[in-house]
Amino acid sequence: MTPKSRRNSSVPATRAVTRGDSPPTRELTILAQDPSVKIGETILTTKATISAESLQPGPCGARIKVVDYDGTTDTLYLPHKGLYEKDHAWLDPFEGLAASKLVDDPHFHQQNAYAAAMQTLARF
């Protein structure tokens, strides 16, 4: 792709992060606590702020690849391929949904695992 066609594409050009800059971040909906612990009948969710790296289905980034396998039922859940923009940026399709619906969605489990692992790595 030539520089001229890059400027005309719908995908924004990325810029280098320099000293003093914060890397780009994104917010993802995750469970705030184990879903078996409820406040009244409400399962709590929150937003996790993580680095905004390019992702492939899984999600799979530079440091983490989520493989969603349920050993109790011997089930492999495939990643949701529709959760990516043209530049492979992760969207948050679960924003605003009731937590009771999220706990049964294997694609939410994938996002939740990825975000929790990325937050843990960022702390170290």
Q: What is the dihedral of CA 33, 36, 37, 39, to 10 degrees?
A: 110
pLDDT for 5: 43
The answer to whether residue 4 sits within a structural domain is no
**Closest C-alpha to 79, from 114, 50, 48, 52:** 114
The answer to whether residue 7 sits within a structural domain is no
pLDDT for 9: 41
pTM tops 0.95: no
pLDDT for 43: 78
Given a contact cutoff of 8 angstroms between Cβ atoms, the answer to whether 84 and 55 are in contact is yes
- Total domain count, the chain: 1
Ranges of residues in the chain whose predicted pLDDT is under 50: 1-12, 86, 88
d(CA 99, CA 96): 9
The answer to whether residue 103 sits within a structural domain is yes
pLDDT for 84: 58
